[in-house]
Chain A
Amino acid sequence: MTEIWHAFTKSIELLISLDPEVMEIAGRSLRISGTACLLASLICLPLGSLIHSHHFRGKRALINIIQTLFSVPTVLVGLLVFVLFSRAGPLGVFGIILTPTAMVIGQMILITPLLLGLTISALSGVSKEIVDTATSLGASGFQTVWLVLREARYAVLAAVIMGFGRAISEVGCAMMVGGNIKGVTRILTTAISLDTSKGELELAIALGIILLFLALIINIVLNRLQQR
């Protein structure tokens, strides 16, 4: 119990003193997961709209598959990216393995099903009458899609923040494709993992508290937006 208390005071210390190493790690975590989340959103929001607004054979099955992939293990995604981008792999020429870029790609793949699935269900919450109203007011197909996204903006935003949460909290993929290289690919979760195995429990817990602190801020933002 004292360990946790020490860890807590240490985490406050680290936060207040703006410990450069901790700040660098936390910053990198935010940067990598933020980028992954942004890029995944840029893909998933339009793609989700497209899937939602079109009727085609196998749509239900596709949505089922997407929802199943919500629970894809992070290490499996890590393995996939590793196989694809390792020096000998089919995309090895890019030489991005063990770089933040590989981590961004891994996290993007990881959260894409979640973002896509939640976007589709967010858009399903917009009534057909709203779509009809927009159409009869002269909206083109694209304008209607944009309006529907705006109508569902809080639910869509919640999806994006969920995706970000999954990205920043995962460790398996980041460890496998990033390698936890100090000053290059070390992020909060991989640092916690390393510190724990080194026996530096206080630092590990402190970093964990910082991660949770980031999650708290994200949740506050989410709640604010949903209450509007």
Chain B
Amino acid sequence: MSLIEVVDLRHSYGEREVLKGLNLGIGKGEVFALIGPTGAGKTTLLRIIDLLEVPGAGEIYFDGKCIPRSGKQRLEIRRRMSFIHQKPQVFNLSVYDNVACGLRWRGEKKNRIAEKVDHILEMVGLEGYKNRNARTLSGGEAQRVALARSLVLEPEVLLLDEPTANLDPISTAKIEQLISYVARQHNTTMIMATHDMSQGQQLAGRIGVLLDGRLAQTGNVTDIFRSPQNEEVAHFVGMENIMEGVIIANNEGIAMVNIGDDAIQAVSSYPVGKEIYACIRPEDITLALSSTQSSARNSFQAKVTRVTTLGPLSRVEINCGFRLVALVTKISAEELNLQAGGEVYATFKATGVHIMERKASQ
């Protein structure tokens, strides 16, 4: 039984349709990440779930009850949730008053409020800031006030909209730590919108990919990142190698896939003649200077076309008859002396190739 059930949700801002018939069920205690590019409708969906906005069409069920489009019941249900916005909006009040306001609005007793606020401020590491005006805090501190302000309410559902966007890595790590701590401690149901896929991967049990107002795919982390259902999802989750191909043979689940003039082996049950996309994550490709004997079924001699450094990693573009992108550590790129024009052997396993259907129209 889902705690939150969204049925055929549609919403427009003026002419622009933001949500185009969305269905989603979130179980009690589940941590669900909504990933998707900017403008996909993540914030709108969260705002509608938090009952800040009335959807153009569709229903929302909370704990089995259909939420009315207006009236007092909305406030009651909203008070069981809490929403952390992308840009933390602290009130022009002291840190203490900021954190206490939600409890006051719920009519909590004064000494209980003091107890709870003190405890939560300690938890987010702001115990010395009680009397500071919250407007004078840094971005990371303000986000922690916003987090404390929501957590102190012990909500059944916590909605987070890009909680760590615009924060430095240390503040981000602190916030992520707090979120996962709370999720475990209180069995809080969480829905988190993020465009940071590693964050989704790290914190969530289940992920939904929101593309252009529709849930393109939902599933666990492995499903989404290893087996995207279509080209858009594959692109979005960082499948940099997406190649058009045709199955030319299939021997008990090991398929030969024709890509241009080459053939690769992949695990797939599609029949011969099926038009497909073959996807390989760039980190699943290993590069070596000589052809090595390994269990990997696919090994190709290739020419390096471009090497770019991404922090501790190197992104290596190679051509082995078809174009591939590989991700290796910077150190191994240096050891292999990878440079544009150089020769290299690219190897990947048949299980590292994800095959997805190519629609006839594409």
| Residues of chain A whose beta carbon lies under 8 Å from any beta carbon of chain B | 127, 129-130, 132-140, 143, 147, 150-151, 153
Contacts and interface: CB of A to CB of B under 8 A. Distances in A.
5 contacts: A132-B52, A132-B89, A140-B105, A147-B101, A150-B92
A137 B90 CA distance: 12
Interface residues of B, number: 24
Contact of B89 (A127, A139, A153): A127
Given A135-B78, A138-B153, A143 B83 contact: no
Contacts of B153: 137-138
Interface in B76-118: 78-79, 81-83, 85, 87, 89, 91-93, 101-102, 105-106
A137 B92 contact: no
Contact of B105 (A130, A133, A137, A150): A137
Nearest to B74: A135
A133 B82 contact: no
Q: Give the most central of B79, B89, B153: most A CB within 10 Å.
A: B89
Contacts of A153: 92
B123 interface: no
Contacts of B79: 138
A136 B75 contact: no
Contacts of A130: 89, 91
Contact of A129 (B82, B89, B93, B102): B89
Interface in B293-307: none
Nearest to B150: A137
Interface of B: 47, 50, 52, 75, 78-79, 81-83, 85, 87, 89, 91-93, 101-102, 105-106, 146, 149-150, 153, 159
B89 A133 contact: yes
Contacts of A132: 47, 52, 85, 89
The SS class assigned to the B binding surface is mixed
Nearest to A143: B105
A137 B149 contact: yes
Nearest to B92: A151
A130 B134 CA distance: 13
Nearest to B102: A137
Given A127-B89, A150-B93, A151-B91, A137 B50 contact: no
Q: Give the most central of B47, B102, B153: most A CB within 10 Å.
A: B102
Nearest to A129: B89
B52 A138 contact: no
Given A130-B89, A130-B91, A150-B93, A136 B105 contact: no
A144 B179 CA distance: 27
A136 B50 contact: yes
A156 to B, nearest CB: 12
B78 A138 contact: yes
A150 B135 CA distance: 14
A140 B149 CA distance: 17
Contacts of A135: 52, 78
**List of 5 A-B pairs having minimum Cβ-Cβ separation, nearest first:** A136-B83, A138-B79, A137-B102, A133-B89, A129-B89
Contacts of B101: 134, 137, 139, 147
Contacts of B92: 150-151, 153
Nearest to A148: B91
Contacts of A137: 82-83, 101-102, 105, 149-150, 153
B75 to A, nearest CB: 6
B328 to A, nearest CB: 43
A137 to B, nearest CB: 4
Q: Give the most central of A132, A138, A140, A153: most B CB within 10 Å.
A: A138
A143 B101 CA distance: 10
